[in-house]
Structures are given as structure tokens and as C-alpha cells.
Amino acid sequence: MSIPLVRLGVIGVGTLSLRGVLPHMTQADIVDRVRVTALCDPVIERAKDAAAKFGIPAAYPTLDAMLADDDIDAVTIVSPIGLHFDHCRKALEAGKHVHVNKTMTTTVAEADHLIALAAAKNLRLVASPGEILRPQVTAARKLLRQGAIGTLSWAECGAAFGNYHETEPERTAGSTAIDPTWYFRLPGGGPMYDVTSYALHQLTAILGPAKRVTAMSGIRVPARYWQGREVKTEADDNTLLLLDFGNAVFAMVFGTAGGRTNPQFAATTFHGTAGVLDGILLNGTSIEFDKREETLGGPVSDWEAQMRTLPHVTGPHRAIPESHIFEDMMQFVRWIREGVPTLATAEHARHVIEIIETGFASAKEGRAIDLATTFDLPVD
């Protein structure tokens, strides 16, 4: 049943919420469709400060307290990745629709549980990142099918950690500084779940589900440092995957401690017998896609500019970071209000999770492993 206004709770008031989610979701142009009515964070002072800054009525120190609030229809989960499954499960059990930031879970078994639970309760479950929503990705998929680079041979994509989580400005704010150390710990830490998930969503949104994976993986940087404190690295931070898409089409995917092969963040490079599709560049020239004019005036590596092609990224949202997540959330709101499903499905997220989880297993076992999950690509 549709509702005229979605009352939204935000679980986790960390860097992503403060930098992107709250600035987007409290803009005047969307209050007719969705309103943030509550925040939840164990650092209650930070939650209260954010509630005051953004004009949000309630702030809770525990998830159970927030979920007991009858003035919440849906939640967005912006907590550390290792907590996503538990937070999603509790929210669904409480009867709330759920949007969750990447990755939805860390295991396929957890993803299966959430998908089944949402279906049983007739609740909406949407998982970021919605790479499949971008017109650039749709255009790339069509070009490959049309043979724009001849016969596709192989692809490469990925992302690297660097040290950005230790140096983000939100993480140095005195007594309420936001601890980034979970990024380096289990479960859910490491570049594969954090940033390579974008690349995997884009790759599979273009080629469809992978069939098999083999990998090498380990820890390259054994310790990180935050506010003068040493943090031991628990999660693998240097991983290379080889994916088999069938019919001798392969892809190399990296989630590493440093380095990148493409200045376009998480972009996929496709190599064919008659050319190269490098992100949005076909043999060095920009491809055509809906709203391409919105991206002009800067380098193709300008991530936020590339997000201006998304249908909800208009007006003030063009200047606010993390606009791709805003789009995912507005697709979520539309599904709740109007019954229009989003293309950013939980099944797609589950497949990416399986690639990552199975990749780590392959590295430990020293063998290629078949993948079991799948999802549907849109009909172009």
C-alpha cells in the first residue's frame, strides 16, 4: 500500500550521513515525499547535534528505541558494513522498509535471509550502490551488445584504499571524532566491501552475473594509524579477482591497498578486438548518454558531475556530495509511495556480495569456485 509521505529514520550518524545523507534528505524540494524524523547513533551527542543542525525531531542512542518509534515508516542504514545485516534484520522485523548502503551484508547467507524476510513481510529492501541506474552504464551495456569494440575479450575494474579514511575532515572533530578503524577490521572491512563494490556493481550491471571466480588476497599494510593510535589490520587489503562470465569473457577486479588503473572512480575498462570502452570513453571519445550535457565542463573523473545524469540529482542536490546515494534513496521512496520498483535490487547486491565472499574463499583454498546467485538485467 502506498503512503503520501515517507517518514525516514537514519541509522548511523557518521561521515556519510553528515556529508551526504542528511544534507540531501533535508532539502526543501523533497519534503512533500520524504522527511527525516529520527536519527540513531550510539554516540548520542553526535546524533543530537546533527538533529539540531538539520531540524530533525528525534535522536536515539539505540536501534531498538528508534524502531519502536511509530513515526518511522522506513530506515536508511548508514552504519559500519559489519553491522548491516543485524540492523537490516531488526528493521525488517519491526515492519520498516529498508534502504542499506553498500554492501548490504558480508555473506550470501545473510543476504538470503534479508531478501526472504522482506518478501515475507511485503517490505521494500533496496541496496546501494545503484550503478545500474546511471545512463552512462545503460549506454555502455548497449554499445557492447552492438559490437562497438568488436568482440569483447576482457575487462578490468576496481578501487584502492589509499589512506582517505584516516584523513577525512569529519574524523578529526574533537570529542565526537568519527572512528574509522572498522574499515580495517572484520567483518566488513577492507577495500573489497568498501570501494570495489562500486566497480563490481558497474561491471555486472553491464555484463550480467559472473559464473566463476578465482583470487589472490592478503594483507599488505599490517597497521593503520588514527589520532596517534595504531590499528592492526584484520581484513585483507590487497585482493585480485579473476571473474569468468562464460564464453571465454573474463574480468580482472582489484581491491587493493593502493593504486588504480583508471582515473574514473570504479570505472570498468572493456577491451575488444576492435577497440576499448574505458568508462565513458569509446576509443578516447566520450560516448553519448542521457543528460550528458549535465556532465560537461570538467574531467570525466569528476564523480559528482557524472552523477548529475541521475533523475533526482537536480537543483541543490547537484552541489551536495554523495548524490548517487541520494538517488538510490529517492528510488526507494518512490517504490514505497508509488509502487514502482527500483532497478537497484537486493538480488544484484547479493550477487556482488557472493563474488567478494567467494573470492576470499578462493584465495584461501587456491582454486576456482563456481558462483550460485544471479539477478536480472533490465531490458534495454
- State the pLDDT at residue 358: 98
- State the pLDDT at residue 5: 97
pLDDT of 185-244, one tens digit each? 999 999 999 999 999 999 999 999 999 999 999 999 999 998 889 999 999 999 999 999
Residue 1 has pLDDT above 60, yes or no: no
Contact 330, 348 (CB under 8 A): no
* Architecture (CATH level 2) of domain 134-310+345-370: 2-Layer Sandwich (3.30)
Instruction: Kindly report whether the global pTM for this prediction surpasses the value 0.85.
Output: yes
Residue 336 has pLDDT above 90, yes or no: yes
Residue 175 has pLDDT above 70, yes or no: no
| Distances 276 to 152, 202, 207, 262 between C-alpha atoms, Å | 9, 16, 15, 13
Q: Count CA atoms within 13 Å of residue 347 on its CB side.
A: 13
Residue 130 has pLDDT above 70, yes or no: yes
pLDDT of 48-84, one tens digit each? 999 999 999 999 999 999 999 999 999 999 999 999 9
Which amino acid does the sequence have at 147? G
Per the prediction, the chain carries an average pLDDT of 95
CATH 3.40.50.720 corresponds to the domain 6-127: yes
- State the pLDDT at residue 212: 98
> Coil, helix or strand for 229?
strand
Contact 159, 266 (CB under 8 A): yes
Residue 96: pLDDT band with limits 50, 70, 90: very high
Residue 252 has pLDDT above 80, yes or no: yes
Q: For residue 151, count CB atoms less than 10 angstroms from its CB and return exposed for 0-12, middle for 13-18, buried for 19 or more.
A: exposed
Domain boundaries, the chain: 6-127, 134-310+345-370
**Residue range 8-23: average pLDDT?**
97
- State the pLDDT at residue 2: 61
Residue 275 has pLDDT above 70, yes or no: yes
Residue 179 has pLDDT above 70, yes or no: yes
Residue 173: pLDDT band with limits 50, 70, 90: low
Question: What are the residues whose beta carbons fall under 8 Å from the beta carbon of 70, sequence distance 6 or more?
Answer: none
Residue 163: pLDDT band with limits 50, 70, 90: confident
Sheet with 250-256, side-by-side order of all strands: 285-286, 281-282, 275-278, 269-272, 152-160, 250-256, 238-244, 212-218, 369-370
**Residue range 86-92: average pLDDT?**
98
- Here the cell at position 242 is 579473476
Beta partners for residue 276, in sequence order: 271
